[in-house]
Amino acid sequence: MARVVGLVAYHVFKESVRDKVLYNLVLFAVLLIGGSYLVGQLTAGQDIKIIKDLGLAASSLFGLFIAVFIGVGLVWKEVDRRSVYNLLVKPVRRHEFILGKFLGLALTLLVNIAVMAAALYAVLALMSWLRPEIGRAGGVEAPVLDPRLLKAFGLLYAQLLVVTSVALFFSTFAGPLMSAAFTFGLYVVGHFNEDLAHFEDVVQSPAAGWLGKALYYLLPNLAPFDVKLAAVHGREVPNLYCALTAGYGLLYIAAMLALAVVIFQRRDFK
């Protein structure tokens, strides 16, 4: 099973490389370096914080676009173009196909996040080398090359994997437009999910309260993955918090993939 899943995953990664998806990294680097230069011209004392903010926000945005736009096509494209006919008649079971597709995009995202993190550190190092005084400037609570940024990148990656699993789930039965709309919708809702847990406090109807509670558990809760602010300000993010959040992400991903497999397993390829 591992060989088959690995082969499918490797070819998803290969496709994204050949389709020049990784070119987004060039755009990211240009944005980061250009942004840093501008920040250096415009701000005083806050340069490092803003560059970190910019780097993490850009990584999040670029990662989200890759997760959604490639994720929604992972299965749909294969079915629509009928390339799935050649694959599923070989010794590839449908759940292996789904798992391979997910892991392939997970690998693409990993490379993206890793390169973007490295680029951010490189720009920060360059800035502190060119202008050593900024590291000592007032208002900067964290070291320039703060290793805690890695936790933010790690949780961002986990969040993107959750988004990928949601996109892939929709991709098993819906077209790309609808899947992208649903996934973006859930991404937005996922950042305000905490409010649904306390919905009963603000509504009169108990039914609406229960509905809010049900949606809280059903929809992905993405806000805990976002520790950008803490990382930028040099606040500690406990390891236990990271592990629990990643664990929640893993469970959610498993549930999404299981649902995707259930739907895909019985699907007719007309």
Partner 1 sequence: MLALETDRLTKDYAVGFWRRRPYRALDGLSLQVEAGEVFGLLGPNGAGKTTTLKLLMELIYPTSGRIAILGHPPGHPEVRRRAGFLPEAPYFYDYLTAEELLSYFAGLFGLRDGARRARVAALLDLVGIGGERRLALRKCSKGMLQRVGLAQALLNEPDLVFLDEPMSGLDPLGRRDVRAIVLGLRDRGCTVVFSSHILSDAEALCSRVGILVGGRLVAAGRLSDMLAFEVEGWELVMAGLDEAALGALGSRVRRATPLGGGRYAIELPPVDDPDCAVAGLRARGGRLVSLNPMRATLEDYFVRQVEARAGGPAAGRTVPER
Residue 85 lies near partner 1 (rule: CB under 8 A): yes
User: Is 37 among the residues that bind partner 1 (CB under 8 A)?
Assistant: no
Map tokens 């736009």 to a residue. Answer: 69
From 85-93, 129-137, 222-230, 243-251, give the range in contact with partner 1 by CB under 8 A: 85-93
Min dist CB 9 to partner 1, Å, is: 12
Contacts for 250-256 with beta carbons within 8 Å, 24 or more apart?
250/158, 252/162, 252/165, 252/220, 253/102, 253/161, 253/162, 253/165, 256/162, 256/165, 256/166, 256/168, 256/169
Residue 85 tokens, joined: 């006919």
Instruction: Report, in Å, the least distance between residue 262 CB and partner 1.
Output: 14
7-36 residues near partner 1, rule: CB under 8 A: 7, 11, 14-15, 18-19
Query: What separation in angstroms does the CA of 182 have from each of 169, 170, 242, 262?
Result: 11, 8, 27, 19
Nearer residue to partner 1 within complex by CB, 90 or 240: 90
Residue 175 found at the interface with partner 1 (CB under 8 A) = no
Sign for the CA dihedral angle at 49, 51, 54, 58 comes to: negative
Q: Which of 65, 83, 118, 198 lies at the binding interface for partner 1 (CB under 8 A)?
A: 83
Interacting residues with partner 1 (CB under 8 A): 3-4, 7, 11, 14-15, 18-19, 81-83, 85-92, 266, 268-270
